[in-house]
A = this chain, B = another copy of it.
Amino acid sequence: MELTVYLAGQIHDNWRDDMKQEAKKLDLPIHFVGPMENHDRSDNIGEEIKGKQPNAIFKDEAASEINNLRTQVLLNKSDVVIALFGEKYKQWNSAMDASTAIALQKPLILIRPESLHHPLKELSNKAQVVVESPEQALQALSYIFETN
Contact = CB atoms under 8 A, between A and B. Distances in A.
Interface of A: 1, 3-4, 31, 33, 36-38, 41, 45, 48-50, 54-58, 60-61, 63-74, 76-77, 79-80, 85, 89-93, 95-100, 102-105, 107, 109, 114, 117-126, 128-131, 136, 139-140, 143-144, 146-148
A interface secondary structure, majority = helix
Contacts of A56: 117-118
How many of these chains are in the complex?
A: 8
Given A60-B117, A69-B80, 6 more contacts: A49-B140, A57-B117, A60-B121, A60-B124, A68-B122, A96-B98
Contact of A103 (B49, B63, B99, B125): B99
A77 to B, nearest CB: 6
